[in-house]
Amino acid sequence: MRILRNYVLEQLLLPFGVCFCVVTFIFILGNLVTLADLLVNKGVGLFDILQILLFFIPKLLNFTIATSALTAILLVFGGLAQHNEITAMRASGVNIFHIMLPVLILAFLLSVVNLVLSDQLLPRVQLAYRKAMAELFLKNPSAYIEAGKFIKEFDNYIILTQKVDGNKLEGVTIYQREEGKPTRTILAKRGEIISSKADKTVMLKLYDGTSDEPNPDDPTSFYKLDFETFVMPPFKLGFSGGKAVVKKTKEMTIDELVEEIAEVKVREPDREKRSDELNELRAIMHKKISFSFAPFIFALIGLPLAIISRRGEAIISFSLAMGIVAIYYGLFVWAMAVGKRGIITPEVALYLPNVLLVFIGCYLFRRIVYV
């Protein structure tokens, strides 16, 4: 029995490694064109490009580990079933569940690793990535602003420009969002980016445009003001006091999210707003936990499904894996939406995809174990 279990586990290693590399490369490939443009056309240094790429890879780990585990299981166990090796094991008196149990244990351990990465590594990487992008913007503003693309990294501002030439901009549109007030709009024919590395700030100087200005008699309404030159207040790029980056919720660990939840309960007097903030924080925290167990969930689904399908071809296994992954992540998108809106409490909503797939996996296991 031990020899057979070791044989199955060894067969899983190569497909897992190959799939992990292929899926990671596919996702990186989509960003290589952008990075190449930064390197060739916008003068960004090779070291900065490699740093951005290095920060990007860990963000894929939750997805690539789970997807690779599922694909490897479908490929190996589908091949065993297709070549009647599963039938031979049963004929020899081997309980097929005893062969699958080590795979489930290994998938559970991968899920624990996923949880540690998601809770400890990924928030730090995301924070370091945003800080690196802010530093890059300070050194080379034109590398960060892309013509025709909305820039949302500035607090309360959304910036759109039609043409970028170095630090010169043309056709600038700026939307300023303020809570409880209409969105303020600033339009300019031309603009100029002025960055300060010492203060870690960026300032926009605009020319020939119009600006929405608050009406003194009614601050909730605006009137149009034409200008020849308009200097925007310096943007901090997420820096606090020019020294440290303020963490976003997705950059917090579970412990930090728990602390933030406790602080929101104390500092936010408005009941509705407090409820919205708490729902979002709880949804992010519970998704971090629930989503990390995708390798175990996929193993629970993939093992019996591979034997039932009896197909061990790489293309079929990969296609089937992508179908399961799409359904699972689609359920998580739905769970996040209803959890954040409070339709279902986040503590329940974010575990529903896992519970649903566990029931399906247990049903499929029952079909193949008790044949």
* Helices 46-56, 2-40: inter-axial angle, 10-degree rounding: 140
Selection from 28, 284, 240 nearest residue 134 by Cα = 240
CA neighbours closer than 13 Å in the CB half-sphere of residue 182: 13
Tell me whether residue 159 is exposed, middle or buried, using C-beta atoms within 10 angstroms of its C-beta: 0 to 12, 13 to 18, 19 or more.
buried
* Helices 294-309, 352-369: inter-axial angle, 10-degree rounding: 30
d(CA 174, CA 160): 6
Question: What does residue 227 show for φ and ψ, rounded to 5 degrees?
Answer: -145, 150
SS3 category, 233: coil
Cβ–Cβ < 8 Å for 230, 186? yes
Counting every residue written for the chain, the total comes to 371
SS3 category, 59: helix
d(CA 53, CA 28): 8
Query: pTM for this structure?
Result: 0.78
Beta bridge partners of 160: 173
Cβ–Cβ < 8 Å for 358, 300? yes
3-state SS track over 100-166 = HHHHHHHHHHHHHHHHHHHHHHHHHHHHHHHHHHHHHHHHCHHHHCCCCCCECCCCCEEEEEEEEEC
Residue-level pLDDT at 63: 87
Q: What angle do CA 55, 58, 61 make, to 5 degrees?
A: 160
Question: What does residue 42 show for φ and ψ, rounded to 5 degrees?
Answer: -115, 5
Residue-level pLDDT at 1: 66
Cβ–Cβ < 8 Å for 371, 308? no
How many Å separate Cα 154 from the centre of its chain? 20
Residue-level pLDDT at 334: 94
Residue-level pLDDT at 107: 94
d(CA 195, CA 43): 17
Distances (CA, A) of 286 to 261, 280, 342: 13, 10, 14
Question: Residue-wise pLDDT tens for the chain (371 aa)?
Answer: 677 777 888 888 888 999 899 888 888 887 777 777 777 766 677 787 888 888 888 888 888 999 999 999 998 888 888 888 888 888 888 788 888 889 999 999 999 999 999 998 888 888 888 777 777 777 776 666 778 888 776 667 888 888 888 778 889 998 887 766 778 888 999 998 887 766 667 788 899 999 887 776 676 677 788 888 988 887 765 544 444 456 778 888 899 899 888 888 888 777 777 888 899 999 999 999 999 999 999 999 999 988 888 776 777 777 888 889 999 999 999 999 999 888 899 989 999 999 999 999 989 888 887 65
d(CA 25, CA 305): 27
Where are the chain's structural domains? 2-138+276-369, 154-236
